[in-house]
Amino acid sequence: MQQLQRTLSLSSVIAIVIGGVIGSGIFMKPAVMALQLGSPLLLIVVWIVAGIITLFGALTNAEAAAMFPETGGQYVFFQKMYGDAFAFLYGWAAFAVFNTAGNASIAYVCSQYADYFLHLPAFSKTVEQSIHLHIPFIGDIYPLQQIGIKLLTVALIVLFTFISYRSMQMGAGVQRLLTALKLAAIFLLIAGIFFSGNGHSENLFTRLQGAPQGVSLITAFMAATAGAFWAYDGWNNITFIAGEIKHPQKDIPKSLLVGLSICIFTYVLVNLAFIYVLPVDKMASSSFIAADAATVAWGTAGGAVIVLMVVLSTVGATNANVLSTSRVTYAMGTENKWFAFAAKVHPRFQTPGNALLLNAVWTVLLIFSGSFDTLTDMLIFVSWLFYGMSAFGIFILRAKMKHTERPYKVWGYPVVPAVFVLFTLVFLVSTVYTDIENYRHGSAPIINSLFGLLITAAGIPVYYFSRRK
């Protein structure tokens, strides 16, 4: 069988880490988080804490990635940690829920903001609600909602699938360019806001009236952290393409440390820029905080500049996700006969072409299945479930494979992985509770976390039937 080639340099790997993480979250989440916390200072603390926790998880995974530098990332790790059945369940969930839904959601945001310039068509509310799918105990799905945005989202997925299908080098080159443009645009935004002279440093120390305190502050802190986690998500994409990195044992830990450090630094600066020009009450009531901040700094033209920046940022994230997530589907195909089609390497392009096509088809179906919030809430919950299991698996590997060479050992073991696992557990429990409460009170049409678990659990019978002779 043909194998994927090791062609990726360190610069490409760092670009994929940064490009996969920095998408739309930093432009959308700070307003909701400011409302939840009521304190700009705490807002900065949340971004730092969430970044450090994410870095703990990334460096913990890097130990396994350096031990098993193969295409497929966590799929391969889970085989070593928990066995074939659990690895398949992860691969199934990655394909059916979080990888493909992640690709759909980030491209969806890109299309939403492109609509600012394009004025995409849409059906009337009556037509949108005329066709729907009801899932018992879960909720309703409306495929015709925002049809113009969904069609543009499909076009983006098809475009970047085509690029990665034709050439890994082409996809990596596009990613280096898009990541450089994204970082340049973001730092121009930060500099422009700080040097506009239209802000006040005192805004950092003001609080909303009635800001949460005591136990309610802990709940608010966890809810705000969930928003930050979504903005940091995508760091593990680099492990998926470990089998195509020239020097994986050195470059994976280095790229995660450098890439995520740049993301944390960037996110903190962006939030400080928002706080500088917007008092906390204006932040909390903002529907699009980045545009409001730019408008204060530069006038009415600022809103259009920010929209263009979000489009640029999410285009880069879409390419990074499409390129890397297909490798999990490819790895699952090498181990399971029902997915063997996905394990074929294109004889001319040396890419996992069939895995890319499968991911694209399922991503398109997910695009029509729901809204941006449904997709993101579902994928974050399921992906963090497996992040926690991956970090816990490091303890298992240390016990099962004591004498196996470890080119990289996670710093601060066992504290660093233990903190990540504990934080993940608290996050998952609080998410399920919040989702159920939101559904009960009518503020959400679907219990997103349970919907994600339902799709994941569907992989159990698929695995056992596929193993039968």
How many CA atoms does the CB half-sphere of 308 hold within 13 Å?
9
| Alpha carbon distance 156, 321 (integer Å) | 12
Backbone angles phi, psi at 139, to 5 degrees: 145, -160
Residues in the chain predicted with pLDDT less than 50, given as ranges, are 1
- The token pair at 128 is 């949108």
The H helix count followed by the E strand count for the chain is 20, 2
pLDDT for residue 179? 85
The helix or strand, by DSSP H or E, that contains position 133, with its residue range, turns out to be strand 133-135
Domain ranges of the chain: 10-467
Residue 268: Cβ-neighbour burial (10 angstroms; 0-12, 13-18, 19+): middle
Backbone angles phi, psi at 383, to 5 degrees: -65, -40
pLDDT for residue 370? 61
Q: How far is CA 18 from CA 74, 183, 216, 264, in A?
A: 19, 9, 34, 10
| Residue written as token pair 């609600």 | 129
| Alpha carbon distance 110, 107 (integer Å) | 5
Examine residue 414 and say whether the peptide bond preceding it is cis (omega within 30 degrees of 0): yes
pLDDT for residue 119? 84
pLDDT for residue 243? 81
| Alpha carbon distance 234, 12 (integer Å) | 15
pLDDT for residue 346? 86
Right CATH number for 10-467 from 1.10.260.40, 1.20.1740.10, 2.40.420.20, 3.90.1150.10? 1.20.1740.10
| Nearest-10 Cα torsion for 230, 232, 236, 237 | 80
Q: Which of 21, 98, 165, 167 is nearest to 362 (CA)?
A: 98
Alpha carbon 389 to chain centroid distance? Answer: 17
Name the DSSP letter for residue 96: I
Residue 381 CB partners (closer than 8 Å, separation 6+): 428, 431, 432, 435, 448, 449, 452, 453
- The token pair at 358 is 């499968």
Backbone angles phi, psi at 209, to 5 degrees: -65, 135
Tens digit of pLDDT for each residue in 45-89? 999 999 999 999 999 988 998 888 888 888 888 999 999 889 999
Q: Which of 429, 384, 459, 368 is nearest to 98 (CA)?
A: 384
| Alpha carbon distance 335, 337 (integer Å) | 7
The predicted model scores a pTM of: 0.82
| Alpha carbon distance 109, 402 (integer Å) | 45
